[in-house]
Amino acid sequence: MSHRRSLPDQKGRANPVNKIAGSIISFMLFVIAGAPALGQTAPTSQENREANLTAYVGMLREDLKKDKVSILTQLMALGPEQAAKFWPVYNEYDKLLTKLADERIAFIRMYADNYSALNQETATEIAVGMMDVQARRIDLQKQYFQRFSQTLSPKDAARWLQIEAQIEKLVDLQILSSLPIVE
């Protein structure tokens, strides 16, 4: 068996998870390249760059959400009754996950803004903050695994968690591989 990023689903079709990778790389390059420039511009220009970054993040997030919904729809393979139960719970989960993602983006931007002169205090703040976000993301998954187990079945909840983990790990890998190593 070959090890591929794109694992087939139950019907042998290619998993569309890889569609997310290109968007993540573009976003991270924008954040990393744009963040140092933010500190070197006039206030008006900085405000424009912040507005552009916010708009870009919003557009990218919408594209990723559409891709993720498509992936979940395909791989969960829920019937109409199950889907009617699944999506409202998933949408609640996604709203909470988005708040955590916003916190994570703030730490990534802090890292990008301070990379060339990263001091011990800021490095600690970023590392502890990222670990806190990661721990809360795991807690959120535990909570929603229980909800999906009750709403659907434990097997369906496990399938959701597996798909969620695959997407999460791909996104994490893309983000982390885009960031320079602390010197």
8 domain-assigned: no
For the chain, the domain total comes to 1
- pLDDT (tens digit, 9 = 90+) per residue, 14-65? 555 555 555 555 555 555 555 444 444 445 676 776 676 667 667 777 777 8
Tell me, yes or no, whether 5 lies in a domain: no
Q: 51-98, pLDDT tens digit by residue? A: 766 676 677 777 778 889 999 999 999 999 999 999 999 999 999 999
1 in a structural domain: no
Give the chain as a 3 state SS string: CCCCCCCECCCCCECHHHHHHHHHHHHHHHHHHHHHHHCCCCHHHHHHHHHHHHHHHHHHHHHHHHHHHHHHHHHHCCCHHHHHHHHHHHHHHHHHHHHHHHHHHHHHHHHHHHHHHCCHHHHHHHHHHHHHHHHHHHHHHHHHHHHHHHHCCHHHHHHHHHHHHHHHHHHHHHHHHHCCCCC
124 falls within a domain: yes
45 lies in some domain: yes
By residue range, what is the domain housing residue 122?
18-178
Please state the rounded mean pLDDT for residues 141-166.
Answer: 97
In a domain? residue 11: no
